[in-house]
DNA sequence: CTATTTCGTCATGGCGGTTTACAAATTAGT
DNA sequence: ACTAATTTGTAAACCGCCATGACGAAATAG
């Protein structure tokens, strides 16, 4: 069925769907879900005061959500104040689940996350996928998905959708991989290869990582730039809590921002792109290391051991990142820059020169640069959570099935 | 009263104001206004089918809008098809008007635009403002505003708001000018200096220019990058039909994107910023011309006359712009780049090297670069139209007054 | 033990869009 | 010219959704 999970509520007045009472109801159901999900167990009265509706209205909304299995009544609250205690409501731990999947260069991973945001099942398979054809890889992924779905179902969950994180550019249809250099995939429509009974969303790994940071990060603002380096160097731009995708869905190509316009040639056609200084290959070469298996781990290891060549290479990579990010920060004025993915592990050696370069080139106070706490889990979690968010954003759709 | 003209309808489900029936009505009124405004005279039935409501519902909405003076009944349509001809509806030419104002480095301008988008009155005063204190300048501007408002009123219009375009950074409150280097203004609150009986919005000149391009430009997409050069070099980013403002409202500082990281020092603290190559002063210096009065006109004149020094300087500026824009395009994946403001006049000599540089550094087809057709009128028109858009976006607010 | 406060629910009402029906105004066909 | 078909705009009845106000229930304060 492949329902459109995203963009259900376009912004701006005048545009968008006609405003009928059903739409109103749907939005109010979503408000209740978001409020309960974000602020823990809450009584009906508390929800009502937060979203600005009356207790009576919230009562009927909650009834509907409980009938759909999206909310649960936990029983009476501990009475601390005067007055009748409310009945605590919480997001259900047995309703729909978001299935997240990740196609990495040398692993596959799938997990199921319930509406509460808890990871309930997880399944990983190691093994290099570089250069393998899409069909066998996706077949393997499909079997992992089926296993995770089965386990989730045995815990009383049912899958509301599947989101797949891929290390490459994904078209705006959220189904076809336009280009994944590290897998050597081109124009591959995953919609035809994955189980068809689940609404599917395919997305860029870095984008899902950024969303994970937005939704799960501790103190992450909702205007930031998330930089990661799995496939080349990618940035995900989050503006006002929304991912900026670009016309063709290619936004965030930080790796090909010119750093030194007369620098070395880049396969993209340009010269002196960031990737020529801070890309994996470039850093390994500058560090004098052979490209091998776990290349990022290798770099971190050597850097930690005090290898000066490696440290110098990372210092210069940080500097190049700082230059490119200066441009990005000047253009976008984000609240923060967050380093994620592989960069997070190398942060100790990248950050000093990066911050230095950024500060030197900024007039006022420099944009704060932090490191993601999610590590390599970001993309997978972001994918799974994107399905969960879609349910919270429009509970009515899912309510029909339960 | 200074009502919030913007951001009345925040994006995303779950957030925003509670969804009550009155809000629904307001949004539907807005839909009707937008539809009629965008698609010319339309019958009630045509509006209904476009926005997806029933004819009956649209009838009552239209009645209300006509009573408020926002819509006009033009009379029966020419019947071309079978069936009863509809009664054509058009946006009123006598209701509210948007007052736009512009504080330029050497001029002041004010105009009134009606809901149809027609400029109805205009008033300009030449004279250098560089270095003058804000108070006398704004006093002068106020008298222009009063004159334009009086003229507009004599034509049956009433002012719905005032938007002021300023060559500098404006804080997110849309009232205070944080920094306007070319005027030498700092932290100036225009809210206290301008007539208080009009809802006020102060905005950056380049941003208003971009909005004008978005709303009035011929074939302008709704994802683009608008580059202009009045104060240094500014870019306005329009994403999905909305201006990207940045956390502090400082987004779009293209002028300080690093082009050559080891280039000449820039007052901003950086090195080799775009402004050091394509800024007004830099180009004049490279061209061997003295900074005088109408510097842009001077450059265009000499370039047209075949002055090779000037042409060379502009060629290099275009090249630098191309490098900086490569970065921006890689980050944002816009549908187009539009040159506006002073750059539009110099486009014939900037474009070749700019396009060349951009194409050379892009893998696929390069992002198309075009020139704004609005010329120097952009900011003023954008300001006035922003008020008009605010009325279209929420007709109910204004309806109360009529 | 009573007064007070707060919670959840119910009955009532208002508001807003839909449905259904119908008159008005045009074209197409005989 | 007259009828049938089509489309428009409006009115009346209806339904859905939230607000209002009242009420019982369950706690605290005195």
User: Higher model confidence: residue A175 or residue B7?
Assistant: A175
In this structure, are A87 and A104 located in the same domain?
Answer: no
Give one word for A71, left, alpha or beta, with left for phi > 0 and alpha for psi -120 to 50: beta
**For B15-25, what is each residue's pLDDT tens digit?**
455 688 888 99
B163 and B231 fall within a common domain: no
Q: Cα separation of A320 and A300, whole Å? A: 18
B308 shares its domain with B260: yes
Q: Residue B160: what are its φ and ψ, rounded to 5°?
A: -95, -10
Confirm or reject contact between B226 and chain A (CB < 8 A). no
Residue B13 reports pLDDT greater than 90: no
Mean pLDDT of B237-251: 93
Q: Tell me, what's the pLDDT at A6?
A: 32
B39: Cβ–Cβ under 8 A, 6 or more apart, which residues?
Answer: B46, B50
If chain A, 402 residues long, is cut into consecutive pieces of 10 residues, what is the mean pLDDT of each piece? 33 59 93 95 96 96 96 90 94 96 95 98 94 94 97 96 95 92 93 92 95 94 92 90 93 95 93 94 90 82 93 96 97 96 92 97 93 92 98 87 60
Tell how strand B224-228 and strand B336-339 pair up.
parallel
CB-proximal positions of chain C, under 7 Å:
4-11, 14-21, 23-28
| Residues B155, B283 within the same domain | no
Q: Is B80 helix (H, G, I), strand (E, B) or coil?
A: coil
Between A290-294, A381-385, B48-52, B174-178, the lowest mean confidence (pLDDT) is in A290-294
Residue A76 (CA) to nucleotide C9 (C1'), in angstroms, measures: 16
The reply to whether A234 and A348 lie within a common domain is yes
Q: What pLDDT is stored for residue A15 in this prediction?
A: 52
Over its C-alpha atoms, chain A yields an Rg (Å, rounded) of 23
Looking at the fold, whether A225 and A369 belong to one and the same domain comes out as yes
% of residues, chain B, pLDDT over 70: 94
Residues of B in contact with A24 (CB under 8 A): 19-21, 24
Identify all chain A residues contacting B51, using CB atoms and an 8 Å cutoff: 18
Has residue B57 got a pLDDT over 50? yes
Q: Are residues A233 and A366 in the same domain?
A: yes
pLDDT higher than 90, residue B97:
yes
The rounded distance, in Å, linking the Cα atoms of B258 and B270 is 8
Residue-level pLDDT at B3: 33
Cα–Cα distances (Å) from B28 to A17, B16, B88, in that order, read: 10, 17, 19
Q: Are residues B226 and B360 in the same domain?
A: yes
* Residue A246, in any domain of the structure: yes
Å from A56 (CA) to C10 (C1')?
A: 9
Residue A9 lies inside a defined structural domain of this protein: no
- pLDDT of residue B8 exceeding 80, the answer is no
Confidence class for position B401, pLDDT limits 50, 70, 90? low
pLDDT of residue A7: 33
How far apart are alpha carbons A230 and A105 in whole angstroms? 9
Q: Residue B397: what pLDDT?
A: 87
Same domain flag for B346 and B271: yes
Rg for chain B, CA atoms, rounded: 23
B330 touching A (Cβ < 8 Å): yes
- Strand D nucleotides in reach of protein CB atoms, 7 A cut-off: 5-12, 16-21, 24-29
The band of B402, judged by pLDDT with boundaries at 50, 70 and 90, is low
Residue A209: count of CB within 10 angstroms of its CB: 32
**Residue after which a domain boundary falls, among A72, A91, A110:** A91
The pLDDT of residue A401 is 65
Same domain, B302 and B325: yes
User: Does A15 fall in a domain?
Assistant: no
User: So what's the pLDDT on residue B78?
Assistant: 85
Q: Is residue B85 part of a domain?
A: yes
What is the model's pLDDT at position B9? 33
The average confidence (pLDDT) of chain B is 91
d(CA A120, CA A142): 18
Q: Report yes or no on B16 lying in a domain.
A: no
**pLDDT tens per residue across span B353-369:** 999 999 999 988 999 99
Domain of A83, CATH number, reads 1.10.10.10
- Joined tokens for residue B320: 């630098």
How far is B229 from B379, CA to CA, in rounded Å? 12
Task: Tell me how many domains chain B contains.
Answer: 3
Q: B91, B114, B146: which is the final residue of a domain? A: B91
Which pLDDT belongs to residue A182? Answer: 85
Of A30, A53, A335, the CB nearest to B13: A30
Question: What number is the average pLDDT over the span B34-58?
Answer: 96
Residue A21 CA to nucleotide C16 C1', Å? 8
Structural domain of A206 = 96-211+379-399
Nearest CA-CA partner of A355 in A318, A327, A328: A318
> Does residue A70 lie within any of the structural domains?
yes
Q: How confident is the model at residue B289 (pLDDT cuts 50, 70, 90)?
A: confident
8 A C-beta contact, residue B216 and residue B385: yes
Query: Residue A332's domain is classified under what CATH number?
Result: 3.30.420.40
pLDDT digits (tens, 9 = 90+) for A220-236: 999 999 999 876 898 99
Q: Is A271 on the interface with B (CB under 8 A)?
A: yes
CA B283 distance to own-chain centroid: 26
CB contact under 8 A, A13 and B326: no
Tell me whether residue A11 is in a domain: no
Last residue of a domain, one of B63, B91, B119: B91
Is residue A254, in this structure, part of any structural domain at all?
yes
B226 and B358, same domain (yes or no): yes
Interchain contact, B9 vs A8, CB within 8 Å: no
Structure-token match 């500058």, residue found: A286
Among chain A residues, CA nearest to B25: A19
Asked whether residue A115 falls in the same domain as residue A83, the answer is no
What percent of chain B is modeled with pLDDT above 90?
Answer: 79
Q: In Å, how far are B135, B213, B221 from B218, measured between CA atoms? A: 38, 8, 9
């Amino acid at each position: 069925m492949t329902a459109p999970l995203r963009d259900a509520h376009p912004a701006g007045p005048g545009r968008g769907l006609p405003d009928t009472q059903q739409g109103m109801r749907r939005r109010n159901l979503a408000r209740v879900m978001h409020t309960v999900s974000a602020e823990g167990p809450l009584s009906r009265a508390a929800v009502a005061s937060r979203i600005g509706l009356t207790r009576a209205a919230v009562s009927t909304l909650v009834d509907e959500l409980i009938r759909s299995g999206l909310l649960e009544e936990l029983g009476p609250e501990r009475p601390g104040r005067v007055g009748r205690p409310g009945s605590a409501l919480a997001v259900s731990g047995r309703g729909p689940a978001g299935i997240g999947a990740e196609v990495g260069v040398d692993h596959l991973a799938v997990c199921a996350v319930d509406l509460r945001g808890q990871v309930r099942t997880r399944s990983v398979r190691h093994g290099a996928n570089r250069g393998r054809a899409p069909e066998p890889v996706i077949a393997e992924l499909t079997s992992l998905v089926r296993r995770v779905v089965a386990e989730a179902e045995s815990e009383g969950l049912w899958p509301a959708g599947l989101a797949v994180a891929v290390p490459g550019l994904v078209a705006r249809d959220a189904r076809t991989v336009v280009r994944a250099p590290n897998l050597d995939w081109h124009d591959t429509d995953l919609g035809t290869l994955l189980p068809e009974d689940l609404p599917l969303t395919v997305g860029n790994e870095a984008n899902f990582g950024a969303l994970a940071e937005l939704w799960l990060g501790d103190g992450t603002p909702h205007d930031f730039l998330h930089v990661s380096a799995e496939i080349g160097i990618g940035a995900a731009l989050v503006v006002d809590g929304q991912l900026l995708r670009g016309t063709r869905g290619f936004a965030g190509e930080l790796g090909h921002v010119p750093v030194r316009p007369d620098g070395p040639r880049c396969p993209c056609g340009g010269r002196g792109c960031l990737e020529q200084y801070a890309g994996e290959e470039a850093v390994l070469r500058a560090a004098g290391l052979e490209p091998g298996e776990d290349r990022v781990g290798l770099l971190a290891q050597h850097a930690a051991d005090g290898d000066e060549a490696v440290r110098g290479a990372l210092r210069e990579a940080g500097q190049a990142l700082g230059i490119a990010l200066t441009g990005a920060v000047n253009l976008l004025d984000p609240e923060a820059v967050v380093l994620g993915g592989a960069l997070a592990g190398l942060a100790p050696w990248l950050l000093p020169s990066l911050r230095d370069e950024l500060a030197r080139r900024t007039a006022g106070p420099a944009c704060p640069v932090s490191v993601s706490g999610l590590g390599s889990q970001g993309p997978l979690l972001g994918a799974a959570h994107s399905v969960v968010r879609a349910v919270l954003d429009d509970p009515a759709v899912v309510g029909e099935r339960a």
